[in-house]
């Protein structure tokens, strides 16, 4: 069914490549439109050679080592592996099945030391579903539990490894109307509690302090401020400004998540160098925190110089991030900037751009070949390469599809595999 | 869709109890003023499976005068839609706009009367807040009609209502004239969770089915008592005493008679087959399965039973009964002869992008090797949806004599970049992307934000 033919290449070797003797898993993609997501921009009619887990060569009319797989892209787009959002891929199986969901600490205590990474399961059915859609990295997030400080997560590669973590710890904090009841019903109380927690984090372990944090929590919070990134879930413009001031005061590397009204304070965000993770489909006054929601939020932020990351599709529907970026583009965001919002921007912001987000020689090979415009809803991932390996493009969902594509089976479908 | 009767309120109703209910809260909707409008140079997807290139359509007097080519009156407004598409108005058969409006605060949570597993007496229309900002967003996406349903916490959630997507002070001013009521029922996890947690029936799927049967048995007896009464009246018995009206049983009796269309929320294939047996046992018809994440497993059975599948393009995994979701669901349900596949939203976001949802479903069907054209796929949002609501003889396709519910798109609607440029309801231009004066703003949104710099 694939329009891409696998062929064995002609016997030609490139001297630069010949140094490596075996190309058992090597892949050549011919004639792609390469979204490098670097200063090189979009390269047309370009070949790309992958060997080991690396992109080894990018260029026109590359020589091909013998006996390797070659895909003719026919000018179609090749992008870096996509960002899977800040979510729970690998730490949730079925959202409503509590025992399969490990993304939040449901206790009422403030536990910044709560860390979701030990719960990660690369064998989750969500991992191949995400991978076949072109997602190769995601940020495991700590979800809203019983506290305004949700806990910590980390970027993970969707390459099937048990400990494929990258970058540092990321702390998640939620503020605003939806989170208010966790701190006495007022966002004023949230700031009060947050200030108290941050004050405690500066205390020595021997001090008792006022006791909203455990000793481990103080250490974790202090470490997040010093070395980590803190994601603040806020939507209202006034809350965003409070957050910027708070982050500056404590020297926090902050990211805004949600940001429904971020466009209203775009200049302040740009001046502070704080990126925004947003849902470009959010255009309803869904709460009193989001009265200013509008479809061109991403476009306005980008115009003001704010780094935009597309997020908010959830874990099971992470594949919708691409559609969301497409809608951002349809509502004024520059097309390449929209692609950046699901590739290089999250990689840079979360400090994992050594591995993800761009197509460059010498870099980890996480690549997706698309049937058309990568932001179009009628486009699908044709080939996905994860850490240099060609993905099987199989998941529970493709297996179910193939089972039920068979018409009038004589035996129960349980016999069709 | 011959299996779905078009019903006009007040006509052909046998029993007085049901008739009384049908006449309550009547529609006061009237088409807004319109001018004869000629749309030219468009690619027209008619909703009947046809695709016309460089074609025209004339809207006159609130209805479609002709499609293809023809004469236009001298006073017609002409819209050159070169490069654009014209489709029937988009219809969402599963919406909670108005009953779960924006902002989604608890004071607004009016869509789920979760106080009893069977509440067929409640009507979603009595919960609708006509000022929901979601209506204008849906209009900007080409949605001209929608069915607003109560939620799915109950086995029998109550009556749904079909409305035209117009702003009005009252829901009566939105009600689609003559559209039959729908009745919402739910299978599976929701009712058993809601009531099981309260330690009462249903706590299990078998409890669900037992409860449905108990309700239908009562409904049959109620219907018989009215039939008996009417027989006596017809025989000239002046002492005949009318049974006492029962609002719960009135709705169920209406469903048994086929006057009220049954909308069944079910995810799993096995449960849908159980419900089809239940319908046989009690002699009613399931009009549409909603959500049906596993509908692809019983596509043939659905087509054979003449039951529509109102489905999402790609939602899955949020609960156990949604675990087997696949992106080819709609395309596979669409495959058999006589099928009725519908793309629905159940979402204030999704209703704004039903065209994109259909595009995804079409693309994944094609990827699996199924041949699906745009002119066919548009029926998932238009004619199939209209038929499922019992209004298919009046809207859902571009055919002479039908309501002029029409969308002009800037290109193929099967694209992430597609925009509805102009939206007509009964021939009246009610949304124009180029004209802020024709972009409605609900009362709630007025004056909310200070002027920003």
Q: DSSP letter string over B204-228?
A: SHHHHHHHHHHHHHHHHHHHHHHHH
- Cα(B195)–Cα(B193) distance, integer angstroms: 6
A209 phi, psi to nearest 5 deg: 65, -160
CB contact under 8 A, A97 and B319: yes
| A159 phi-psi bin (left φ>0, alpha ψ -120 to 50, beta other) | alpha
Question: Among partner residues B299, B318, B353, which is closest to A316 by beta-carbon distance?
Answer: B318
Q: Which helix (H) or strand (E) holds A265?
A: none
Q: What is the largest CA-CA distance in chain B?
A: 77
pTM recorded for the entire structure = 0.94
Instruction: Give chain A positions within 8 Å (CB) of B137.
Output: 283-284
Task: Give the CB-side neighbour count of residue B354, counting CA atoms within 13 A.
Answer: 35
* CB neighbours of residue B320 within 10 Å: 17
* CB neighbours of residue A81 within 10 Å: 30
B214 phi, psi to nearest 5 deg: -60, -40
- DSSP-assigned letter for residue B180: P
C-alpha B181: how far from its chain's center? Answer: 10
For domain A17-81+357-416, say whether CATH 2.30.40.10 is its number: yes
Question: Which residues, 6 or more positions from B228, have their beta carbon under 8 angstroms from its beta carbon?
Answer: none
Q: Rounded mean pLDDT of chain B?
A: 94
Instruction: Give chain B positions within 8 Å (CB) of A264.
Output: 449, 452
Chain A residue at shortest CA distance from B134: A284
Please calculate the CA angle A342-A343-A345 and round it to the nearest 5 degrees: 90
Dig out the tokens for A396 from the structure.
């529970």
Which of B348, B417, B419, B443 is most worth mutating to test chain A (most A CB atoms within 10 A of its CB)?
B417
Alpha-carbon dihedral sign for residues B47, B49, B53, B54: negative
Beta bridge partners of B127: none
- Map tokens 């925190």 to a residue: A289
Question: Which residues, 6 or more positions from A167, have their beta carbon under 8 angstroms from its beta carbon?
Answer: A154, A155, A350, A351, A352
- DSSP-assigned letter for residue B156: E
The bridge status of strand B37-45 relative to strand B51-60 is: antiparallel
CB contact under 8 A, B105 and A401: no
CB contact under 8 A, A330 and B363: no
The bridge status of strand A54-59 relative to strand B156-164 is: unpaired
- Cα(B53)–Cα(B85) distance, integer angstroms: 9
Question: Among partner residues B102, B416, B452, which is closest to A323 by beta-carbon distance?
Answer: B416
The predicted structure's pLDDT at residue B449: 85
DSSP of B103-122: S--GGG--S--TTSSB-TT-
**Residue B103: is the preceding peptide bond cis (ω within 30°)?**
yes
Segments of chain A with pLDDT less than 50: 1-20
- CB-CB contact of A81 with A119 (8 Å): no
Alpha-carbon dihedral sign for residues B418, B421, B425, B426: negative
User: How many angstroms away from the CA of B360 is the closest CA of chain A?
Assistant: 6
Beta bridge partners of A334: none
Could you tell me the CATH superfamily of domain A82-356? Metal-dependent hydrolases (3.20.20.140)
* The residue count for chain A: 417
ipTM given for this complex: 0.94
Question: Among partner residues A264, A319, A377, which is closest to B363 by beta-carbon distance?
Answer: A377
| A67 phi-psi bin (left φ>0, alpha ψ -120 to 50, beta other) | left
- Cα(A297)–Cα(B5) distance, integer angstroms: 46
The candidate with the shortest Cα–Cα distance to A379, out of B130, B360, B19, is: B360
Which of A284, A294, A374, A402 is most worth mutating to test chain B (most B CB atoms within 10 A of its CB)?
A284
Q: What residues does each domain of chain A span? A: 17-81+357-416, 82-356
Instruction: Give chain A positions within 8 Å (CB) of B141.
Output: none
The candidate with the shortest Cα–Cα distance to A138, out of A89, A93, A80, A95, is: A89
Q: Which helix (H) or strand (E) holds B409?
A: strand B406-409
Segments of chain B with pLDDT less than 70: 1-22, 451-453
Strand, helix or coil for residue B298: helix
What are B161-216's pLDDT values in tens digits?
Answer: 999 999 999 999 999 999 999 999 999 999 999 999 999 999 999 999 999 999 99
- CB-CB contact of B2 with B210 (8 Å): no
- Map tokens 């596993």 to a residue: B294
For residues A270, A315, A155, A161, the Cα torsion angle rounded to the nearest 10 degrees is: -160
Task: Give the CB-side neighbour count of residue A16, counting CA atoms within 13 A.
Answer: 11
Which of A327, A333, A401, A402 is most worth mutating to test chain B (most B CB atoms within 10 A of its CB)?
A401
Strand, helix or coil for residue B407: strand
Question: Among partner residues A126, A285, A380, which is closest to B133 by beta-carbon distance?
Answer: A285
A212 phi, psi to nearest 5 deg: -85, -20
C-alpha A33: how far from its chain's center? Answer: 23
Instruction: Give chain B positions within 8 Å (CB) of A96.
Output: 189, 318-320
* CB neighbours of residue B285 within 10 Å: 18
């Amino acid at each position: 069914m694939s329009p891409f033919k696998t062929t064995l290449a002609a016997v030609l070797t490139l001297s630069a490549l010949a140094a490596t003797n075996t190309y058992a898993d090597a892949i050549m993609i011919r004639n792609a439109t390469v979204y490098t997501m670097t200063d090189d921009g979009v390269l047309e009619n370009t070949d790309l050679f992958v060997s080991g887990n690396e992109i080894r060569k990018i260029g026109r009319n590359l020589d091909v080592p013998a006996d390797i797989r070659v895909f003719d892209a026919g000018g179609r787009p090749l992008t870096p592996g996509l960002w899977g959002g800040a979510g729970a891929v690998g730490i949730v199986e079925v959202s409503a099945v509590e025992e399969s969901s490990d993304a939040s600490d449901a206790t009422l205590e403030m536990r910044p030391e709560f860390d979701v990474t030990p719960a990660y399961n690369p064998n989750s059915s969500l991992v191949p579903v995400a991978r076949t859609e072109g997602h190769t990295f995601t940020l495991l997030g700590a979800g809203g539990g019983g506290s305004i400080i949700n806990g910590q997560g980390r970027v993970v590669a969707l390459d099937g490894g048990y400990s494929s973590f990258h970058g540092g710890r990321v702390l998640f904090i939620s503020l605003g109307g939806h989170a208010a009841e966790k701190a006495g019903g007022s966002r004023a109380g949230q700031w009060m509690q947050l200030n108290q927690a941050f004050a405690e984090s500066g205390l020595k372990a021997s001090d008792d302090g006022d006791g909203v944090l455990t000793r481990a929590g103080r250490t974790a919070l202090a470490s997040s401020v010093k070395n980590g990134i803190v994601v603040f879930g806020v939507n209202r413009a006034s809350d965003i400004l409070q957050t910027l001031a708070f982050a500056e005061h404590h020297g926090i590397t902050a990211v805004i998540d949600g940001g429904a009204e971020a466009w209203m304070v775009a200049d302040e965000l740009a001046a502070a160098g704080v990126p925004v993770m947003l849902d470009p489909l959010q255009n309803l006054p869904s709460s009193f925190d989001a009265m200013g929601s509008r479809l061109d939020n991403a476009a306005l932020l980008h115009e003001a110089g704010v780094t935009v990351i597309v997020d908010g599709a959830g874990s099971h529907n992470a594949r919708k991030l691409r559609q969301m970026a497409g809608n951002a583009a349809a509502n004024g965001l520059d097309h390449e900037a929209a692609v950046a919002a699901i590739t290089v921007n999250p990689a840079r912001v979360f400090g994992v751009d050594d591995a993800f987000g761009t197509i460059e020689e010498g870099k980890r090979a996480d690549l997706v070949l698309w049937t058309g415009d990568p932001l179009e809803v009628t486009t699908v991932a044709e080939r996905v390469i994860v850490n240099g390996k060609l993905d099987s493009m199989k998941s529970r969902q493709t297996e179910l599809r193939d089972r039920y594509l068979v018409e009038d089976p004589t035996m129960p479908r349980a016999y069709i595999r | 869709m011959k299996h779905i009767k078009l019903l006009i309120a007040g006509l052909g109703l046998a029993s007085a109890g049901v008739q009384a209910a049908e006449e309550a809260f009547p529609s006061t909707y009237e088409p807004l003023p319109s001018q004869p409008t000629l749309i030219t140079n468009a690619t027209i997807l008619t909703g009947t499976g046809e695709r016309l290139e460089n074609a025209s359509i004339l809207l006159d007097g609130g209805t479609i005068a002709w499609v293809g080519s023809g004469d236009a009156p001298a006073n017609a407004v002409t819209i050159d839609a070169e490069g654009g598409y014209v489709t029937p108005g988009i219809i969402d058969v599963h919406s909670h706009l108005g009953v779960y409006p924006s902002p989604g605060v608890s004071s607004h949570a009016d869509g789920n009367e979760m106080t009893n597993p069977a509440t067929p007496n409640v009507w979603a229309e009595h919960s609708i807040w006509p000022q929901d900002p979601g209506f204008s967003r849906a209009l900007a996406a080409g949605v001209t009609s929608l069915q607003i349903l109560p939620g799915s916490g109950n086995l029998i959630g109550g009556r749904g209502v079909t409305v035209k997507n117009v702003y009005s002070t009252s829901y009566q001013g939105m009600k689609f004239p003559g559209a039959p009521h729908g009745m919402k029922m739910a299978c599976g996890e929701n009712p058993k969770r809601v009531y099981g947690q309260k330690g009462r029936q249903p706590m299990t799927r078998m409890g669900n089915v037992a409860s449905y049967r108990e309700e239908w048995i009562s409904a049959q007896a109620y219907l018989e008592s009215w039939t008996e009464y009417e027989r006596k009246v017809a025989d000239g018995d002046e002492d005949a005493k009318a049974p006492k009206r029962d609002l719960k049983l009135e709705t169920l009796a209406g469903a048994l008679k086929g006057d009220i269309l049954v909308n069944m929320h079910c995810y799993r294939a096995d449960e849908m087959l159980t419900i089809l047996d239940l319908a046989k046992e009690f002699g009613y018809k399931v009009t549409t399965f909603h959500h049906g994440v596993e509908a692809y497993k019983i596509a043939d059975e659905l087509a054979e039973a003449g039951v529509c599948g109102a489905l999402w393009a790609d939602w899955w995994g949020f609960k156990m009964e949604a675990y087997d979701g696949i992106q080819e669901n709609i395309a596979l349900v669409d495959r058999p002869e006589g099928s009725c596949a519908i793309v629905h939203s159940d979402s204030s976001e999704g209703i704004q992008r039903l065209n994109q949802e259909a595009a995804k479903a079409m693309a994944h069907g094609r990827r699996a090797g199924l041949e699906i054209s745009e002119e066919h796929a548009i029926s998932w949002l238009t004619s199939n949806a209209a038929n499922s609501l019992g209004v298919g003889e009046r809207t859902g396709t571009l055919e002479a004599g039908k309501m002029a519910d029409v969308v002009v798109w800037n290109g193929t609607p099967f694209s992430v970049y597609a925009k509805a440029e102009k939206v007509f309801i009964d021939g009246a231009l009610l949304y124009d992307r180029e004209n802020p004066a024709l972009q409605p703003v609900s009362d709630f949104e007025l004056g909310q934000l200070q002027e920003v710099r």
